[in-house]
Amino acid sequence: MEVGGNGGGLPVNNKQRAMLPNKGGRGEFPRTPRKDSEGLSESPDLEFEYSDTDKWAAELSELYSYTEGPEFALNRKCFEEEFRAHVSDKKWTDLDAAQHRAHAMRLLDGLEVIGREKRLKVARAILYMAQGAFADCSCEAEVQYWMRYNIFLLLDVGTFSALVELLNMEIDNSAACSSAVRKPAISLADSTDLRVLLNIMYLMVETIQQDDPADKPEWKIMKETFRAELGSPLFNNEPISVMLFGMVTKFCSGHAPHFPMKKVLLLLWKSILFTLGGFEQLQSIKVCKREELGLPPLPEDSIRVIRSMRAASPPASASDLIEQQQKRARREHKALIKQDNLDAFNEKDPYKADDSREDEDDNDDNDNSLEPETFPLERDEVMPPPIPHPPSERVSFPKGLPWAPKVREKDIENFLESSRSKFIGYTLGSDTDTVVGLPRPIHESIKTLKQHKYISVAEVQMAKEEEYQKTPLSVGEEEVEMCATELLYQGILPSLPQYMIALLKILLAAAPTSKAKTDSINILADVLPEEMPTTVLQSMKLGVDVNRHKEIIVKAISAILLLLLKHFKLNHVYQFEYMAQHLVFANCIPLILKFFNQNIMSYITAKNSISVLDFPYCVVHELPELTAESLEAGDNTQFCWRNLFSCINLLRILNKLTKWKHSRTMMLVVFKSAPILKRALKVKQAMMQLYVLKLLKVQTKYLGRQWRKSNMKTMSAIYQKVRHRLNDDWAYGNDLDARPWDFQAEECALRASIERFNSRRYDKSHSNPDFLPVDNCLQSVLGQRVDLPEDFQMNYDLWLEREVFSKPISWEELLQ
C-alpha cells in the first residue's frame, strides 16, 4: 500500500532534501518503496523525526487560523499610522538601532492609555512588529530575521510585563464575559483583544526559545533571564503557566466562552517547554539526578536508540492477501510436479508457510498483526534485503536486541524467595545476598540478575519519603530545590484536579471521534467568522480551518500533559503520581483509547492545511486564486507532522499512566484496547510502533491463550523491539500479578502516600503539633512581640479596668 508521497519515491540526496520546502507540519519524500516477492508494494517508512516541536515556520503558522488572514493587513495599517505620525517616511528596516528603540518605547507608552480602541490599535502595531514588519521584507527568511530582531527589542524595553498586565485585565473583564455568555453564537470578533495580546506573547516565547548560533551575547543573556522570569512567580505572584491554566478552567466552566482556547493552549505549551525544557534537557536532567543520588549511569540513551530503530512491516490489507492467493493459485496451475514429489518438497522447504498457522494468525478482527523483520520462517516468502540507510541517520549498535535488559530489586527478591522455598524450604525475606544451600545454576542466575539490576530515581525518592514519614525528627527538614518544575507544581497544586479535567474536556471536544453534543464545550470560538460562508469554496476553506484548528488543539494538549508528567516524575515521583492519578480519575485512559478508535492512517495522512495561506508565506507572496479543486487536492505530502506527533504523545501518556499499575493495565483489558492498538500498528513509524507494542506487552498475560496463539507475529515484534525485564513472564498467564487483585486497594494506598507527601511538604498549617519545638524559657516567651488587634489597642484602658483593676486578686492563694 502506497501512503501519500510522490508515488514513485524520487531519489533525493541530503542536500536536495534540505532545500525542499517543508512547512506546516509536512513530511519529507518517502524512501523508495520495496517490492515483496509477490510483486506487492509495501508502504514506505514514514520519514518522521520526533522532536519537541515542528519546524519554526510551521509552529508560527499554526498560531493563526485562516479566518484571521485579513487581520495581517489591519495590523500593518495600525503600525504605519503610528509610524508615519512620529517617524519620517523611511522604511522600518532602514532605521538605526536608536530609532528602533525609541519607537518601541513610544508604542509601549501607548499601551498605558485608558481608551480601549486606542490601546487595541497600539497592540496591533506591536503585533505587526513581532510579525517581522513583513511589508518591508521580500522573502520568508527576511521576515524571520526581522521577527527575531524586533522581538528581542520588545523584550528589552519591557513589553512582556505590560502584556501580562493587560491580559490579566482582559481575563477579569466581567462585561466581556457576561456578554459572551448571553450570545447564542460566538465568533472571532468576541475575542479580538485577547487574540492580539496572546499572539504577541506567543510570538515572543516561541521566537526567544529558538536557538540561533548567530545571536548576540546580550540576546543570550536576555533569553536566560526571560526563561527564569517566566518560570518564577513574578507575574501576579504566580508563574505565567498557572495564569494560563486559570484561563483554561474558566473557559471550561462556561464563564468565559469567548476565550481563544487554541492560542491559550499553544502559549501554555510553549511556556512549559521553554521554562522546564524539552526531551533532550529531560535526558540530561535524568543523568545529573542519577549522579547526585550515586546511581550507576543509564544503560543507553533512549532518544538515540528510538531514532535508530526501523519500523516493522504493517499488516497486509485484505485486498493484498486476496491478490497473493490468486497469484499463488496461478503458480500452482503452471507447476508440472507430481503430488508426491510436491509433498516431499514441502517437508524439506524451511520457508514454506504453514497454511493452518497463517489462518490462525489472520483470524483476529481480519487484522493481520505486525510482521517482524527478522523471522523469515513466519512469512511465505524470503525477506528482501533491507533498505540501506544513510550512516548519518542511524546509530550502529551490535546485532541483537536494541535495549539492555533491566531487573528490579523486587524481581531478584521474588526469584530468591521461590528458589529458597523450592530447594531449602524456608525464606529470608528481602535478603538478596545469602545463597547458602542453593545449587550452582541458581548462583549463576542471581549473578546475571544483579548484573542487570536497575534502580530508578523514583525508587530512591519513594524510599526517602518513607524515611521522612517514619522518622521526621531524626531525618530533619527536607531541602527542596526551588527549580522551575517545583515552582510550577506548587503553583498548580491547589487546583490540579480541575486543570486536568479541563484539559481532558477540551481534548474530548477536539478529538475526531467525538460526536457533536449540545452539552459539549464550543472550542471553535476563535475560528468561526462573524458571517458564515455563502459559497462552496468558503465552506470548504472553513471546513479545512476547523479540522486544522482541532488538530492543533490535540497537539498542544498532548504535548502539555506529556511534558508535565515527565518533568514531575523526575522532580519527585509523588508529584507525577498525583497528576497521573487525577488523569486516571478523569477518564483519561478510555478517552485516549476512544481517540485511537478511528482510521488512524487517515488521521495521520490528513491534509487539513492550505500552504499558500500559512504565515509567513502569505504575507510576502502574491496569493494565487484558490479553487475547490486545489483545496480538495491538498498538499502533496506523505503525512501530517502534527497528527503523528499527537498520536505518539498520547501513546506515551497512556504508557506513563499504566506502567507498573496492574489496576490500570486491567482498564486497558476491560476497555478492549488490544484490537484498537493493533490497528495503530499499521502506521509504519518505529517510535509509534514501539509505544503501541509496550501497551500490548503489559496486557498480554491477561488476554488469554487464544489471543496469544492468534497473534504470534505481534508477540515476536514485542520480543524484538520492547525492552526485556529478566524474569518477567509477560507472555504467559502464570505470573502472580495476573491473578485476581484488589485493584481498588492499590489505588487507595497510592492515594494515601501522595496525600501524606503533599501534606508533609506543602501544607505547613496542618503540621503535627507534637513535632514542633517548644520554648520553655520564661524570658524569651515574655519577650516575644505580640501583634494586638487595632480595636483592642483603642479600648486598652477599658480592658485594664474591667479585667485587672476591678477584679480582686488574692496574692496569697496565687503564691501557694
> What is the per-residue pLDDT across 549-591, written as a single tens digit (0 to 9) for each?
999 999 999 999 999 999 999 999 999 999 999 999 999 999 9
**Confidence at residue 342, expressed as pLDDT on a 0 to 100 scale:** 37
Give the mean pLDDT of the chain. Answer: 82
83-100: pLDDT as tens digits: 887 776 788 888 889 999
Beta-carbon contacts of 238 under 8 Å, excluding residues fewer than 6 positions away, are: 491
**For 104-138, what is each residue's pLDDT tens digit?**
999 999 988 888 899 999 999 999 999 999 998 88
pLDDT for the residue 10:
33
Helices (H) and strands (E) in the chain, counts: 40, 0
Backbone angles phi, psi at 679, to 5 degrees: -65, -30
Average of per-residue pLDDT across 285-302: 92
CA-based end-to-end distance of the chain: 101
Section 374-386 average pLDDT: 37
Q: For residues 703-722, give the mean pLDDT.
A: 91
Question: Over pLDDT 90: what percentage of the chain?
Answer: 51
Domain regions of the chain by residue span: 54-288, 407-452, 482-733
The confidence score (pLDDT) of residue 261 equals 96
Stretch 488-510: mean pLDDT, rounded?
96
Hey, which residues does 725 pair with through a beta bridge?
A: 406
| 41: DSSP letter | B
If we measure between CA atoms, which residue out of 210, 199, 57 comes closest to residue 609?
57
**Residue 318 reports pLDDT greater than 70:** no
**Does 510 have pLDDT greater than 80?**
yes
What are residue 313's DSSP bridge partners?
A: 371
Give me the mean pLDDT over the 24-42 stretch: 40
Q: What is the mean pLDDT of residues 636-654?
A: 94
Q: What pTM was estimated for this model as a whole? A: 0.82
Minimal CA–CA distance to 715: which of 406, 375, 403, 385? 375
The band of 358, judged by pLDDT with boundaries at 50, 70 and 90, is very low
Residues 6+ apart with CB under 8 A from 603: 512, 643, 647
Calculated CA dihedral for residues 418, 419, 424, 427, nearest 10 degrees? -50
3-state secondary structure of 254: coil
Region 49-57 average pLDDT: 93
Rounded Cα distance between 186 and 528, Å, is 8
Residues contacting 335, CB < 8 A, separation 6+: 342
Label each residue of 167-236 as H, E or C.
HHHHHCCHHHHHHHHHCCCCCHHHHHHHHHHHHHHHHHHHHHHCCCCCCCHHHHHHHHHHHHHHHCCCCC
Residues 6+ apart with CB under 8 A from 185: 528
Q: What is the pLDDT of residues 200-254, one digit of tens each?
A: 999 999 999 998 888 889 999 999 999 999 998 887 788 999 999 999 999 999 9
Question: Is the previous residue joined to 616 through a cis bond, with omega within 30 degrees of 0?
Answer: yes
Please report the pLDDT score of residue 1 as a whole number. 34
CB burial string 648-686: b at 16+ within 10 A, e below: bbbbbbbbbbbeebbbbbebbbeeebbebbbbbbbbbbb
pLDDT at 489 over 50: yes
Confidence of residue 33 (pLDDT cuts 50, 70, 90): very low
pLDDT band of residue 262 (cuts 50, 70, 90) is: very high
CA-based torsion, 778, 780, 783, 784: positive or negative: negative
What mean pLDDT comes out for the span 418-423? 88
* 512-526, 575-589, 690-704: least confidently modelled range: 512-526
Within 673-711, where are the H helices?
A: 673-680, 686-699, 705-710
pLDDT of residue 17: 37
Q: How confident is the model at residue 488 (pLDDT cuts 50, 70, 90)?
A: very high
Round to whole Å and give the CA distance between 611 and 603. Answer: 18
Q: What is the mean pLDDT of residues 293-316?
A: 84
The dihedrals phi and psi of 406, each to the nearest 5 degrees, come to -125, 155
